[in-house]
Structure 1
Amino acid sequence: MSKKKLSKKGKRNRFLALSILVLLFLLLVFNLGRSFSKNDKKERHSMTTESSITSSSSTSTSTSTTKESAIDWRAPSQTKAYPTLQTGDWVLVSTKKQRVYVKRGEQVLYTMYCSTGTNDSPTPLGTYSVEAERGENFYNAASAEGANYWVSFKDHGIYLFHSVPVDQNGQYIESEAKHLGVTANSHGCVRLSVADAKWFYEHALYGMKVVIE
């Protein structure tokens, strides 16, 4: 075979080898591009999910704050009129729900927001009754708090229904009042809104059953 024919054959082989290398390089670039695209999509999905979680958390916090601020601790708990109490009506205090239910048998006549005792100073659970002691206001120097419209239900002046707390000047302590209906935050008494406490002070029947659970 002549040198000329060998030279042509060698050129074809080199061209073929070069073509294969170029093809392999293009395939490598294509695969790398797809890999980066998948990772980018995963990252975007992760960021979207994280953003969604953050947004959900913010909404939850906002809802919680709204729930707390929506309670008017000066006003009646419900828009309907207070009931006219009769002999046999009774009161159920739920320390879990932070609510006071005025009941006639099993019928709920009226529901009031409340704040009961903390874990360190709990409201005693059990069955009691409205006692004779009641008054328009008091102040306890030891706790630096007082209240208006109090009605005793245990130990004759120790455990009371009363309004949200006041300071030594008779001004309502708003930082304490905001816990009404939301958090157990008293020293053992049952705190009510100003309007609810006034109504209960004026209308609670002596001997009326009080169940705290």
Structure 2
Amino acid sequence: MKIKQILISIVASSAIFGGILAVTPTATITNQVSAAVTKAKVQPNAQPKSVMLPANWWGPSESVPYPNVAQHPKMWIHVSLAKQRVYLMDGGKTLYTMYASTGLPKRGWGATPKGTFFIQRERGKSFSEGSGRGRISAYNFVSFKDHGVYLFHSVPVDYRGHVLPFPAGAQGKYPSSHGCIHLSLADSKWFFQNIRYNTMVIIN
């Protein structure tokens, strides 16, 4: 689906699933994400034990630093639709695991496509659709198929900068998107800043 169609449908879903989640506005969210990403700075010589943190919509998914992409030139991405996870891989080794939420075709929404893809050039810090109270936004988008149609991006937020409840609560648990792959705000920011053009993505 096109981004516009995705976001219009998200507005409808927010009404279906109980309205807007009363969470922190965008300005504070940005500070929280920056602090979380700073805390999870790359430590190339450290090899702490990986521990998955409780799933949330704003913080990193693991207790360990994000991997140093420069040290893994053959990094690739595995998206598990069954487990609702995004795995950063180097060969057969998992470097980092991110909670995700993928397409929900059972509601007539778009499925996340299966197959092998490659990260495309289209990416940005945010995008918005609609105006006024109908405006919906998401952050840190990176295209992997059809040049801006299928994206990795953050959980969506409403016109007030409040995260929509259904996508936010679905992280790592069940599908909630219209085909894109939702990540937490912190994970999506790191992904946007670090995942290179033409990185292989396998979705199954």
TM norm structure 1: 0.64
| Paired amino acid for 2:59 | A
Contact 2:100 2:171 in 1 (8 A): yes
User: How do residues 109-124 of structure 1 correspond to structure 2 at under 5 angstroms?
Assistant: 109-119=95-105, 120=108, 121-124=110-113
User: How do residues 165-204 of structure 1 correspond to structure 2 at under 5 angstroms?
Assistant: 165-204=156-195
Is 2:141 aligned against 1:157? no
- Structure 1 portions without partners, runs of 5+: 1-69
| Paired amino acid for 2:56 | D
Counterpart pick for 2:197 among 178, 184, 206? 206
CA RMSD of aligned residues (A): 1.6
Aligned to 1:170, the other structure's residue is in SS state coil
Contact 1:87 1:205 in 2 (8 A): no
- Structure 2 portions without partners, runs of 5+: 1-53
Aligned to 1:198, the other structure's residue is in SS state helix
Aligned to 2:59, the other structure's residue is in SS state coil
Shift of 1:137: 0.6
Aligned to 2:60: 76
Shift of 1:88: 1.3
Contact 2:154 2:183 in 1 (8 A): yes
Q: Distance in 2 between matches of 1:149 and 1:191?
A: 10
Q: Percent identity of the aligned residues? A: 44
Distance 1:126 1:144, change over 3 A: farther
Runs of 4+ in 1 over 6 A off after TM superposition: none
Aligned to 2:175, the other structure's residue is in SS state coil
Q: Which has the higher contact order (CA 8 A, sep 6+)?
A: 2
Contact 1:139 1:168 in 2 (8 A): no
Deviations 1:142-170 (A, max 9, x none): 99633101100011111000001111333
TM norm structure 2: 0.67
Counterpart pick for 1:126 among 115, 136, 141? 115
| Residues paired across the two proteins, number | 144
Contact 2:136 2:156 in 1 (8 A): yes
Q: Distance in 2 between matches of 1:156 and 1:130?
A: 9
Q: Distance in 1 between matches of 2:130 and 2:101?
A: 21
